[in-house]
Amino acid sequence: MTAFYASAVIGQPVFGLLTERLDHRFVLAIAALGSAISIVGYVNSGGAEGVALLSLFGFFTYSGFPLLISLAADYAAKDASALGNSLVWGLGATGGNSVGPLLVYALVFDDYSRLGGAFEVMAVLAVVSAIGALLIPKPPPSMPVSLAGSHGQVSAEMDSHTKVVDSPRSALFLRERGVRLRCVPATALSSPAR
């Protein structure tokens, strides 16, 4: 179990970096497929190989939750972000943790020799989830402004300091919290303050 949980400590930052660089829907699909493949491998293996596959399952599975929070932020309106996060937490995490064991129990029905088959059914559901993640329409654009390039950069004025905002996600985050943003032409930037 230590390997299962410890791998999530590594997986969440890795998937966080992937989320900053790739489409959130694609990264969520990778996490779901990785979970499916590793759990089927675990069920059909043993020994050190089984421990490694269980660790890989934790790596992919526990990375899904932060991805869902990030995906909810892509789609939730500014004034509904708390509702979006509560749906991910309430229905996704808590609801999933309630329904998942019931589904496994219904598949096993007091015969633990069927447990491997139950995990394989859950893996099929993970594959369906991966396909579903890819079918979600693209989120609406978050910023109508170009944030970098030859036109200039967006900077945020906070506590009488000006800081360059590096990504659209950061700019949206700051704008939603009432931080004043301004576009600075590239020619006016001698050395960006960070």
| Residue 22, both tokens | 């790739």
Task: Select the more confidently predicted residue: 72 or 37.
Answer: 37
What the chain holds in terms of domains, given with CATH numbers, is: 2-135 (1.20.1250.20), 141-194 (no CATH)
- Predicted local distance difference test score (pLDDT) of residue 180: 67
- Predicted local distance difference test score (pLDDT) of residue 73: 79
**108-157 pLDDT, tens per residue?**
988 989 999 999 999 999 999 999 999 998 876 654 333 444 344 444 44
- Predicted local distance difference test score (pLDDT) of residue 30: 96
Mean pLDDT of the chain: 79
H/E stretch holding 183 reads strand 180-184
- Predicted local distance difference test score (pLDDT) of residue 185: 53
User: Would the pLDDT of 159 be above 80?
Assistant: no
| Residue 139, both tokens | 């989120």
Contact 43, 120 (CB under 8 A): yes
**59-89 pLDDT, tens per residue?**
999 888 788 888 887 877 777 778 888 888 8
Backbone φ, ψ for residue 139 (5° rounding): -70, 155
Residue 156 forms beta bridges with which residues?
A: 163, 181
Task: Select the more confidently predicted residue: 120 or 182.
Answer: 120
User: Would the pLDDT of 169 be above 90?
Assistant: no
User: What does the DSSP 8-state code read for residue 113?
Assistant: G
